[in-house]
Amino acid sequence: MIDRAVAGRVQPASTLLGPGDDAAVVRAADGRVVASTDMLVQGRHFRLDWSSPEQVGRKAVAQNGADIVSMGAWPTSFLVALGCPADTPVSVTDALTDGIWSEVAEFGAGVIGGDMVQSEQVVISITVLGDLGGHEPVLRSGARAGDQVAVAGRLGWSAAGLAALLAGSADFPELVGAHQVPTPPYRCGPAAARAGATAMTDISDGLVADLGHLSVASGVGVDLDANLLEPDAQLRSAATALGADAREWVFTGGEDHALAATFPAGAALPEGWRRIGVVRAGDGVHVDGRSWAGAGGWQSFS
Amino acid sequence: MIDRAVAGRVQPASTLLGPGDDAAVVRAADGRVVASTDMLVQGRHFRLDWSSPEQVGRKAVAQNGADIVSMGAWPTSFLVALGCPADTPVSVTDALTDGIWSEVAEFGAGVIGGDMVQSEQVVISITVLGDLGGHEPVLRSGARAGDQVAVAGRLGWSAAGLAALLAGSADFPELVGAHQVPTPPYRCGPAAARAGATAMTDISDGLVADLGHLSVASGVGVDLDANLLEPDAQLRSAATALGADAREWVFTGGEDHALAATFPAGAALPEGWRRIGVVRAGDGVHVDGRSWAGAGGWQSFS
């Protein structure tokens, strides 16, 4: 199984020793390495009747990669531990592996190691290593009163796609696709770091919830301008059809792995970023001056 | 839960940014980082009626750490993803976390990141990062004909302890303890690298099986001398009581995470290492000139 997963795969130059020994060796030219890990469990973070194994593999890598770019770094290496029931068809593990490698290729990175074990549910645990390229990491704690608040990437699409799946609707394939495989704006992370972003995070729990984490870490408040966060036509159309609130998707939907960051007042925002509010003294996340009245965040679907 | 797991823990100097942001940042002064990952599943790799949660945590870290020292490197950082059923008592996750941290402390390392999710079984996925300290990694592939074959650490104790547990025997607490928490000879790994070891691996599948992997990677054969691998008194006593074969435990028992290495002929072996055979041209692992006739390796217990 492990041989099937690594055979014929091309490692980047940063992989000094790939899979096959007791451990891998990767270059860390910067003298530092950025690292994060996420575990996805079948039935909780994904359903194999809603997503293909290839999509699950891509999503698992995407959410890990988003944690690295949101530090202003770039992923170089992934380690993948996979638990599967004994009766899992090889076609499923092959497709999962293909999905993992295809998203890893988006970064020009490599899968440098892993483990495969038997388990009752499919469990995918990924660790990603990243390179800061000589820059300081952009933390959640650096926002200062007066900074611009900006976002890059889609908001609410994954939540809308999940709502369509739950409703059994086949009318919104692009939204469903965004739930199956998020498309985080990877390059916007390092670009924000180069542009002087003072704080950054990826949006995994929802815009309000994740800006809440950033505001606590920075000891500031965040004022969002609802006019700058109007749901797009796709979301409005789906909300009408599904009897849902498109603004709720935008403000509380997670899993798109958009990026949120703060930039000094007056700084030009890099490509892909748009202004959505301002940092102020105080605490909490407000929308048009009021506390967000909807759901506070987003949880996995079971 | 995550706050409970990280509160009050002391990070080593190599942890530049610990848990709490989207990713951690660790020092990699060597310009390279060694990495490995292992997943342990309840009922397959451990049983909570046979091991305390604290022991399970220690074992999970030990088997990951052994993969790093067997490269001649030293663990600096661990990332821990934990899946648990919703009804898992906090006392269990606290004890698991305590076990993880206490074994991590054996290395002076830190737990720099993690994830906690809901799952049907307890699943622990650990990734370890290590530092080569300016030395080249010791691979499985460097053994040459004429090299000495040597081992550091216990052989067969974990297998004997498992046999005692399976038999319901309470007569061999030290062997059972070795199964519950292996004690790999961590410092013997970097010491072997400094002493010029030509190849090294940790013994997770059993002496014959893991030397088999080393022999294939190196394109050589291995001749073991059974006189140098006589079972010790504890193993002989347990084998008699349990109706088992102590030599089978020594040659095929896994999970002790002893280290096996090859050294140039005539090289003085560092402290903790003992000679058990010789590398020859050819292939395969032989004992006293014959193929090992017993079981070829070792599998998890379910």
Q: Looking at the structure, tell me whether residues A166 and A111 fall in a common domain.
A: no
- Nearest chain B residue to A114 by CA distance is B37
**Chosen domain end from B107, B131, B155:** B131
Residue A237 domain flag:
yes
Q: Looking at the structure, tell me whether residues B95 and B158 fall in a common domain.
A: no
Residues 6 or more apart from B247 whose CB is under 8 A from it?
B226, B229, B231, B294
| B232 has binding-site annotation | no
Q: Looking at the structure, tell me whether residues A221 and A273 fall in a common domain.
A: yes
Whether B31 and A29 lie within 8 Å, measured CB to CB: yes
Q: Looking at the structure, tell me whether residues A100 and A174 fall in a common domain.
A: no
Across the interface, of B24, B28, B38, the residue whose CB is closest to A115 is: B38
Residue of A164, A162, A154 whose CA lies nearest to A238: A164
Q: Looking at the structure, tell me whether residues B180 and B260 fall in a common domain.
A: yes
B28 touches chain A (CB under 8 A): yes
CB A151 within 8 A of CB A260: yes
Stretches where chain B sits below pLDDT 70 are: 1-2, 293-302
A86 touches chain B (CB under 8 A): no
Q: Looking at the structure, tell me whether residues A107 and A237 fall in a common domain.
A: no
**Chosen domain end from A131, A165, A188:** A131
Terminal alpha carbon distance of chain B: 30
Packing angle of the helix pair B173-180, B157-166 (nearest 10 deg): 110
**What is the model's pLDDT at position B9?**
86
Please tell me the distance in Å from A238's CA to the nearest CA on chain B: 30
| B37 has binding-site annotation | yes
DSSP conformational letter for A226: G
Whether B35 and A79 lie within 8 Å, measured CB to CB: yes
| A300 has binding-site annotation | no
**What is the model's pLDDT at position B302?**
34
Residue B297 domain flag:
no
Please tell me the distance in Å from A111's CA to the nearest CA on chain B: 11
**What is the model's pLDDT at position A8?**
79
Per the structure, the complete domain to which residue A122 belongs is given by 2-131
Whether B25 and A118 lie within 8 Å, measured CB to CB: no
A-B CB pairs within 8 A amount to 207
> What pLDDT digit, counting tens, does each position of B226-235 carry?
999 999 999 9
Across the interface, of B31, B119, B127, the residue whose CB is closest to A28 is: B31
| B45 has binding-site annotation | yes
**What is the model's pLDDT at position B263?**
98
Series of mean pLDDT values for 10-residue runs along chain A (302 residues): 76 94 96 97 90 96 98 98 95 95 97 94 97 96 98 97 95 96 97 98 96 97 97 97 96 95 97 98 93 55 38
Residues 6 or more apart from A87 whose CB is under 8 A from it?
none
Please tell me the distance in Å from A117's CA to the nearest CA on chain B: 7
Sheet of strand A74-84, all strands in order from the earlier edge strand to the far edge: A110-118, A74-84, A123-131, A32-41, B24-27, B15-17
A78 SS3 class: strand
Total domains in the fold of chain A: 2
ipTM at complex level: 0.93
**Chosen domain end from A94, A114, A131:** A131
CB B5 within 8 A of CB B97: yes
The CATH number that applies at residue B178 is 3.90.650.10
Q: Looking at the structure, tell me whether residues B177 and B87 fall in a common domain.
A: no
> What pLDDT digit, counting tens, does each position of B155-173 carry?
999 999 999 999 999 999 9
Please tell me the distance in Å from A78's CA to the nearest CA on chain B: 10
**What is the model's pLDDT at position A247?**
95
Residues of A in contact with B40 (CB under 8 A): 117
